[in-house]
Structures are given as structure tokens and as C-alpha cells.
Amino acid sequence: MPDKILIVEDNPLIAEAIEQAGQRFRMTADRASDGWDAIEMLETEEYAAIVIDTDLPRHSGFGVLAYLREEIGDDLENVIVMTSADCGEVERSLCQHGVTVVAKDDVAAEVERSLEARRS
């Protein structure tokens, strides 16, 4: 399994917090600030976890999820989606794919919990 995470987030402070959370699990990170950059990275790299903001410039996080479903199918257990919208609503739309949905306000702690659960 790769020891790298992909952070798809346009806010550098949030991306940094997520990267630091990954470092606690000895994971390095690649960053993409929009959906198209993320898709380019996903075409050439494998990631232990993919953390995606739903609201991105150029191509939304939902567009990245659509790409992942096309490429790897419905098993998206390694995907963590961040949102500042109603988590319950977003989660209901994604739960059948194994995607973890977290609130953006405390994203670093949520990502740590999710990574810890995946490592167990």
C-alpha cells in the first residue's frame, strides 16, 4: 500500500494542517489546488488516502469523485471528502461508495481519526 496521501484543497492553510496530520502517520503528501490538477496526479500515482474538498476551482471535488468512480469503481474506502456544507446531506449521497465525509471546521482532527481507522 502506498504511504502517500493526496490533498485536494485550494486553501493552503487547510492543506498544510491535513499534511501535518498525515505526517503523524509517516505519510508524505502531494497537493492539488483544483480538481483538474488532482485528476492529473491520480492518473500517475497511487495514494493510501485521498482528501478532497467539495468546493474547488476549475473542477469540483464531486468531479474528482466521478473520475475516481470511472477509474477504480465504487470502492472508494480511501477517500475522505471535506465540506463546509451540511455533512449529513453530502454523506447520504456518498455513503454507498464507502467515502468518509468530514466537516471542514475541524478537518485535521477528522482526517487523523479517519487515517487511524484505516490503519487499524
The 10s digit of each residue's pLDDT in 12-22 is: 999 999 999 88
Reported as half-sphere exposure (CB side, CA atoms, 13 A), residue 2 has a value of 15
Q: Which pTM does this prediction carry?
A: 0.84
Handedness of CA 43, 81, 29, 57 (dihedral sign): positive
- The mean pLDDT value for 97-106 works out to 73
- The mean pLDDT value for 12-36 works out to 92
Q: Is the pLDDT of residue 88 over 70?
A: no
Burial of 4 per CB tally in 10 Å (0-12, 13-18, 19+): middle
Q: Is the pLDDT of residue 36 over 60?
A: yes
Q: What is the pLDDT of residue 2?
A: 67
C-alpha distances out from residue 103 to 22, 40, 90, 107, Å: 17, 26, 10, 6
**Are the C-beta atoms of 5 and 38 separated by less than 8 Å?**
no
Q: What is the pLDDT of residue 42?
A: 93
Q: Is the pLDDT of residue 90 over 60?
A: no
Angle of helix 35-44 relative to helix 61-72, nearest 10 degrees, comes to: 20
The 10s digit of each residue's pLDDT in 56-82 is: 888 888 888 888 888 877 777 888 888
Domains present along the chain, CATH in parentheses: 4-119 (3.40.50.2300)
Closest CA to 78 of 66, 68, 88: 68
